[in-house]
């Protein structure tokens, strides 16, 4: 299972939220590059970089941070947040993203998102399937759709999506464990590479996610709050 630390960006700073609530913002480091280099120095190869400003905006915002991290590290960066147009995805890839995650665009403009899958390939495009009470949420998790998360994933799996990041919003940033039952249901009902996100707070959580069959696990606050150390993660990288 791939270990994928997360860096969430607001105003160019490394922050974390709880349950996607922007009012809970906590800044952990004003220099995301320093954080990314610490990850790389610990043997980590992957990074989930989220533009939280872009997520609730109408376009990508923090692409300069992406460009900096991509140029100064060898991390394989998956970038999401605010990618809502052909121009945005072009900027993301030109700024150094190896993959992009699309969530809101997949709900609001499915034809555009499907075209991205065809144009860039399903190895470059990840489906963001973030949900609250198993309903897909969009636009920085500020809006809730009528899509059932499993049906949403199944729909895009039929259209060629191979990799899916799924966050149970009620678990995100709470350090109380991931949504194991949800991930079991997704894997039971669809043939995708599932990347679990939200709630990880211990090494036991990671082992359990691996045993369930998750292809990757995104870890955020557990690292910043030192619930899981980078040294512990080295053994899994």
Catalytically annotated residues: 8, 130
| DSSP E strand stretches across the chain | 2-10, 13-18, 21-29, 46-51, 76-80, 99-102, 125-128, 131-132, 135-138, 143-148, 163-167, 193-197, 216-219
Structure tokens at 212: 């369930």
Sign of CA dihedral 38, 40, 46, 49: positive
* Per-residue CA distances from 140 to 10, 24, 47, 104, 144 (Å): 12, 14, 19, 8, 10
């Amino acid at each position: 299972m791939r270990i994928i630390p997360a860096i969430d960006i607001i105003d160019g700073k490394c922050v974390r939220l709880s349950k996607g609530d922007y009012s809970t913002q906590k800044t952990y480091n004003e220099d995301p590059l320093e954080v990314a280099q610490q990850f790389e120095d610990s043997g980590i190869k992957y990074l989930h970089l989220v533009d939280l400003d872009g997520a609730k905006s109408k376009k990508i915002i923090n692409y300069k941070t992406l460009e900096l991290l991509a140029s100064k590290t060898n991390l394989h960066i998956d970038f999401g947040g605010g990618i809502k147009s052909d121009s945005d995805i072009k900027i993301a890839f030109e700024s150094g993203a190896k993959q992009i995650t699309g969530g809101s665009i997949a709900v609001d403009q499915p034809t555009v998102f499907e075209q991205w899958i065809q144009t860039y390939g399903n190895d470059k495009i990840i489906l963001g399937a973030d949900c609250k009470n198993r309903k897909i949420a969009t636009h920085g998790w500020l809006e809730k759709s009528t899509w059932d998360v499993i049906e949403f994933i199944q729909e895009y799996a039929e259209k060629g999506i191979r990799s899916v990041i799924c966050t149970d919003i009620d678990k995100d940033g709470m350090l109380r464990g991931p949504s194991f039952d949800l991930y079991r249901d997704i894997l039971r009902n669809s043939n995708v590479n599932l990347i679990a996100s939200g709630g990880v707070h211990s090494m036991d959580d990671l082992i359990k996610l691996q045993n369930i069959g998750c292809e990757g696990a995104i870890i955020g606050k557990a690292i910043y709050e030192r619930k899981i150390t980078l040294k512990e993660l080295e053994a899994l990288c």
